[in-house]
Amino acid sequence: MVAVAEHLKGRNFTAVRDWSPEDLKTLLALAAELKALQRSREPHLLLPGRALGMIFQKPSTRTRVSFEVGMSQLGGTALHLSASDLQLGRGETLKDTAMVLSRYLDAIVIRTFAQADVEELARHSRVPVINGLTDASHPCQALADLMTIRERLGRLSGVRVAYLGDGNNVCASLMLAGAKFGMRFVAATPMAYRPEPATVKLAMRVAVQSGGTVELTDDARAAVRGSDVLYTDVWTSMGQEDERERRLRDLRGFGIDEELVAEAGPQAIVLHCLPAHYGEEITEAVLHGARSAVWDQAENRLHAQKALLALVVR
């Protein structure tokens, strides 16, 4: 049976900023071990009889399925809790919801809009709370990103990551995670789509300590040259549908196509947290091409989140 470090039991995972590089390294090492066990069909029932509740106020494919399957593979059960089916939908407070659910469950995943709601739930929960996505942060995606980059390139420190498009929640979480591991991160976005200044400032401060760098530019080609990783995400996130036409105009020129990939390093890989919109932020040829590590990245959501659950659930 896999040995699991005990010092992280009971910890929340609401944002990348709250976990040290050492804690994240522990998680990535366990994720790699669990992936190998799953590939060889060896049982690893680290959480027998435990129950995970998943509150969803936004649609989900990868987050829901990977957490449900992952909890099952660890020997526990997962419950999908649509916000409309809970008393949250009729005005019950997050505080009261947390106090009730944490009497039933061993951990809670929440996928919602405001980061403050995740933090509020965590404050009043007696069990670990995991951020399954907010408008500001997507920390579970960052775990899978780190895992995939290390698998493909053999390292994290010194890796140059060019993130193109909208400096959104995915960009913010990966930027900070990369800073913790000494990566060279550059966000290529139009000025109006830059990541949130406070997050950039924090990431820059962390990068100085780790030997990494964080840069902002509006030149996509300059960002890509010499990069080891090209990363993008949808240009119109959930809740921004009425901005779609404006965003398509504003972000034109920041999509990843075969011509842009050719500007990168010879061993560069392409990442996308999915779902993809072909002809906008990425072309179908690139997403399914030889440089794409997107499908490994999607699979690694399962393994990274299993490691997270195994570490924090008592």
- Residues acting as catalytic residues: 111, 138, 141, 233, 273, 301
Chain position carrying tokens 């071990």? 33
> Measured between alpha carbons, how far is 278 from 2 in angstroms, rounded to an integer?
41
Do you know the residue count of the chain? 314
Q: How far apart are CA 217 and CA 288, in angstroms?
A: 27
Measured CA to CA, the distance from residue 102 to residue 129 in angstroms comes to: 10
- Residue 231: enclosing H or E segment and its boundaries? strand 229-232
Which residue in 292, 261, 301 sits closest to 133, CA to CA?
Answer: 301
Contacts of 73 (CB under 8 A, 6+ apart): 38, 44, 306
Contacts (Cβ under 8 Å, ≥6 apart) of 18 = 12
Residue recorded with tokens 């990431």:
203
Residue 11 CB coordination number (10 Å): 18
